[in-house]
C-alpha cells in the first residue's frame, strides 16, 4: 500500500503530461481568444504527407458570432483569413475524423492584438503561397506559414507538433524557436532547436527527432509522441455527423 501511495502522484503527473487541450475546452467566457491548433492531414492530400500535421490559428473577435481562421490550406489556396462559425471553432474534429489539438491559447488584450493585425499579416504573407509557391513537402506549406505568422505576431508563440512537416523549412535561418523560449538554426537539409519548451530537436530533411523534458516525451518522425497522447472521443451529436 505504501508503494501505491508513493506511485499515485507520479502516475497522475504522467497522465496529465499525456493530456492534450481540445477546442471544446477553450474558455467560452472570454471575449477575445486566439488558439493555435493542428490536426492530421486528410486522405485527399499526397500520400507522403499523410503522417504530418496541419497547423492553423482561430481567433475570436469580441463574441462567439465573430470567429476567423488564418491558414494555408493547400497548393491553390494561398494564405487566407476567413470567417468560421463558433461550432467550427469549438469542434474537436476536422475533416470528419482528424482529432484537433490546441497548442497555444491567448486571451484578453493579447488576443485582441492578434485579432487587430492578423488579417493584414496574413495578406502580406499570401504571395509566397500562391501560384505554385506551396509544396506539401518539404515546404513552404501550412506549417511554414504558421511559423512566419507567429514571428510577426509574437503573442502566438507556441510549440509545433513534431510531425508538422515544413515548420523548419528554410535555406538558412537562425533565431528564436517557435515558442520563443530558446533558439533554432536551420538549413534546408539540417537544423536544430534548443529551447525550454521544445527541448532538444534535430531536424533532418524536414523530419524532427526530439526529446522534451516537460511534458516528458520522445519525438520520432511518422509516430505520435511517446508516451502517446489520448485521442478524444466524439460526443453523440458529433458522432451522428461523422
Confidence at residue 6, expressed as pLDDT on a 0 to 100 scale:
36
Interval 27-40 mean pLDDT: 97
Confidence at residue 75, expressed as pLDDT on a 0 to 100 scale:
85
Q: Give the Cα separation of 210 and 208 in Å (integer).
A: 6
User: Which residues make Cβ contacts (< 8 Å) with residue 150, sequence separation at least 6?
Assistant: 36, 156, 157, 158, 178
Summarize pLDDT for 62-106 with one digit per residue, the tens.
999 999 999 999 888 999 999 999 999 999 999 988 999 999 999
Query: If pLDDT is split at 50, 70 and 90, which confidence band does 168 have?
Result: very high
Confidence at residue 218, expressed as pLDDT on a 0 to 100 scale:
97
Confidence at residue 100, expressed as pLDDT on a 0 to 100 scale:
96
- The mean pLDDT of the chain is 88
CA torsion sign, 145 to 71 to 99 to 19? positive
Least confident of 169-173, 174-178, 238-242: 238-242
Interval 158-163 mean pLDDT: 96
Confidence at residue 19, expressed as pLDDT on a 0 to 100 scale:
64
Query: Which among 145, 143, 170 is positioned nearest to 52, based on CA atoms?
Result: 143
Confidence at residue 240, expressed as pLDDT on a 0 to 100 scale:
43
Q: Give the Cα separation of 118 and 150 in Å (integer).
A: 10
Confidence at residue 2, expressed as pLDDT on a 0 to 100 scale:
41
Amino acid at each position: 500500500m505504501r508503494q501505491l501511495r508513493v506511485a499515485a502522484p507520479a502516475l497522475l503527473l504522467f497522465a496529465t503530461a499525456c493530456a492534450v487541450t481540445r477546442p471544446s475546452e477553450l474558455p467560452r467566457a472570454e471575449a477575445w481568444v486566439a488558439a493555435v491548433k493542428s490536426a492530421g492531414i486528410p486522405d485527399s492530400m499526397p500520400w507522403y504527407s499523410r503522417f504530418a500535421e496541419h497547423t492553423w490559428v482561430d481567433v475570436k473577435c469580441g463574441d462567439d458570432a465573430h470567429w476567423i481562421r488564418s491558414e494555408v490550406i493547400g497548393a491553390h489556396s494561398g494564405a487566407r483569413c476567413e470567417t468560421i462559425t463558433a461550432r467550427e471553432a469549438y469542434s474537436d474534429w476536422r475533416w470528419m475524423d482528424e482529432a484537433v489539438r490546441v497548442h497555444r491559447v491567448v486571451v484578453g488584450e493579447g488576443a485582441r492584438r492578434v485579432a487587430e493585425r492578423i488579417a493584414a499579416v496574413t495578406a502580406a504573407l499570401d504571395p509566397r503561397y500562391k501560384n505554385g509557391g506551396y509544396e506539401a513537402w518539404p515546404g513552404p506549406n501550412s506549417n511554414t506559414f504558421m511559423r512566419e505568422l507567429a514571428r510577426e505576431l509574437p503573442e502566438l508563440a507556441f510549440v509545433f507538433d513534431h510531425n508538422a512537416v515544413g515548420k523548419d523549412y528554410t535555406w538558412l535561418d537562425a533565431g528564436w524557436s517557435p515558442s520563443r523560449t530558446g533558439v533554432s538554426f536551420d538549413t534546408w537539409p539540417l537544423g536544430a532547436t534548443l529551447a525550454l519548451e521544445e527541448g532538444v530537436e534535430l531536424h533532418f530533411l524536414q523530419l524532427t527527432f526530439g526529446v522534451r523534458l516537460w511534458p516528458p516525451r520522445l519525438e520520432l518522425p511518422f509516430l505520435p509522441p511517446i508516451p502517446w497522447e489520448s485521442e478524444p472521443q466524439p460526443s453523440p451529436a458529433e458522432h451522428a455527423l461523422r
